[in-house]
């Protein structure tokens, strides 16, 4: 997704940093004890996603332990298998974003499985079919989304959401499809539903803020992106960068500058924030000169050829207007310099006062 800056007579793309909803992973770990109380060696651990299509396998090691990373968040059925036959399983295992879920099996203490009635079997089959239908809609919708076929993706993902309205990841991807199709009100509703189901996910707030900005709901976007920065401080620079992009492209260049400064303060090597900060300074003639040191700093950060050319042209334009005679300083450096200057002034004033007092003595 891109916003177009209207600050300059030529277009400068400010790329918003969305978070793919399908790229959120956790891991599974555990240990297997066989019926004799010994480590279950070489047993296949089958890991099947319940809400959306997904199958993974891992084998136990010489200590009966197993570990599988990179599992998408959601609910799973974890099954032990030996020579193609099912030994036992644990249902409704939750994999969380960034977390490691433990699942242990002690076959020496396991009782025989209860008998399932015909009615219960029919119910299980119906539930299984519903899950498979949801999986099909989601899998096809995700493929269309990744192919940037946004209208088709939205249709399929809406089908999946209607079939199972309890899965936050479906609504998150539905929001992404609507946003790609520029249907921002629908994207906003989908992201809000994802947040309702999973209120601690940075990516959902981040992407909601972008959609709100695209829809012209600037005040809502500001609140949402600030909330995103609070939910996951390690990703706060991304949230503040997007906040700056929203504000800049709505003509609020002074506020945008402050947001980009905050992104840089939190992540000093965030090159694109320097470029966009420099661009935001072109919002008024009075701040054009401030762009020069910022863009010169950006040029030291190995920019792409296109961005390098843009920054070079902007520097030339600012210098032609009579601005740009200072060296870039971070906000922390400016604060430290201001304090040092204040301390030096206070000392000079104290020395002058002491000298005056000495001269007035008889």
- CATH classification of the domain holding 100: 2.60.40.10
What radius of gyration do the chain's Cα atoms show? 29
Q: What is the pTM of this model?
A: 0.66
On whether the CB atoms of residues 24 and 201 are closer than 8 A, the answer is yes
Is the residue at 37 inside a domain?
A: yes
Q: Is the pLDDT of residue 333 over 70?
A: no
Q: Are strands 74-82 and 44-49 parallel, antiparallel or unpaired?
A: antiparallel
Would you place residue 111 in the very low, low, confident or very high pLDDT band (cuts 50, 70, 90)? low
Buried b (16+ CB within 10 A) or exposed e, 314-337: bbebbeeeebbeeebeeeeeeeee
**What integer best gives the mean pLDDT of the chain?**
83
Q: Which of 181, 109, 96 is nearest to 144 (CA)?
A: 181
Whole-angstrom distance, CA of residue 259 vs CA of residue 286? 19
Would you place residue 100 in the very low, low, confident or very high pLDDT band (cuts 50, 70, 90)? confident
Say how many CA atoms lie within 13 Å of 74 toward its Cβ: 25
**What pLDDT is stored for residue 334 in this prediction?**
53
SS3 106: strand
Structure tokens at 281: 């300074």
Is the residue at 64 inside a domain?
A: yes
Is the residue at 137 inside a domain?
A: no
Is the residue at 66 inside a domain?
A: yes
**What pLDDT is stored for residue 15 in this prediction?**
53
Would you place residue 11 in the very low, low, confident or very high pLDDT band (cuts 50, 70, 90)? very low
Give how many domains the chain has, as a whole number.
1
On whether the CB atoms of residues 163 and 179 are closer than 8 A, the answer is no
At residue 25's C-alpha, the angle toward residues 126 and 264, to 5°, is 140
On whether the CB atoms of residues 42 and 60 are closer than 8 A, the answer is yes
- Give the domain extent around 100: 25-106
Q: What is the pLDDT of residues 211-246, one digit of tens each?
A: 999 999 999 999 999 999 999 999 999 999 999 999
Is the residue at 73 inside a domain?
A: yes
Whole-angstrom distance, CA of residue 193 vs CA of residue 178? 14
Is the residue at 239 inside a domain?
A: no
Is the residue at 68 inside a domain?
A: yes
The percentage of residues in the chain with a pLDDT greater than 70, rounded to a whole number, is 79
Would you place residue 18 in the very low, low, confident or very high pLDDT band (cuts 50, 70, 90)? low
**What pLDDT is stored for residue 192 in this prediction?**
97
């Amino acid at each position: 997704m891109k916003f177009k800056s209207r600050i300059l007579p030529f277009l400068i793309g400010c790329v918003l940093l969305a978070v793919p909803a399908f790229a959120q992973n956790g891991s599974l770990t555990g240990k297997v004890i066989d019926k004799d109380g010994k480590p279950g060696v070489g047993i296949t651990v089958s890991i099947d996603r319940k809400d959306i299509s997904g199958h993974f396998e891992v084998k136990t090691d010489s200590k009966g332990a197993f570990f599988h990373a990179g599992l998408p968040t959601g609910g799973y059925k974890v099954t032990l298998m030996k020579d193609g036959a099912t030994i036992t399983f644990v249902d409704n295992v939750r994999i969380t974003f960034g977390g490691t879920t433990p699942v242990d099996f002690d076959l020496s203490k396991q009782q025989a499985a209860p008998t399932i009635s015909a009615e219960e079997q029919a119910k299980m089959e119906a539930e299984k079919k519903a899950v498979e239908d949801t999986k099909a809609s989601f899998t096809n919708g995700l493929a269309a989304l990744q192919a940037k076929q946004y209208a088709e993706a939205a249709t399929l993902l809406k089908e999946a959401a209607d079939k199972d309205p309890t899965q936050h990841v479906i609504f998150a991807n539905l929001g992404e499809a609507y946003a790609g199709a520029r249907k921002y009100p629908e994207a906003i509703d989908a992201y809000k539903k994802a947040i309702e189901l999973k209120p601690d996910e940075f990516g959902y707030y981040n992407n909601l803020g972008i959609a709100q900005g695209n829809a012209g709901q600037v005040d809502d976007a500001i609140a949402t992106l600030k909330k995103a920065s609070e939910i996951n401080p390690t990703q706060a620079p991304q949230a503040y960068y997007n906040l700056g992009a929203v504000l800049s492209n709505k003509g609020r260049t002074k506020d945008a500058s402050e947001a980009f400064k905050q992104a840089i303060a939190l992540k000093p090597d965030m090159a694109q924030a320097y470029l966009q900060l420099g661009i935001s300074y072109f919002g008024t003639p009075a701040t054009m000169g401030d762009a020069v040191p910022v863009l010169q700093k950006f040029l030291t950060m190995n920019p792409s050829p296109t961005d390098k050319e843009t920054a070079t042209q902007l520097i030339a334009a600012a210098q032609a207007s009579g601005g740009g005679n200072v060296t870039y300083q971070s906000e922390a450096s400016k604060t430290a310099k201001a304090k040092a200057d204040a301390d030096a002034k206070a000392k000079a004033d104290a020395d002058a006062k002491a000298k005056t007092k000495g001269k007035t003595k008889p």
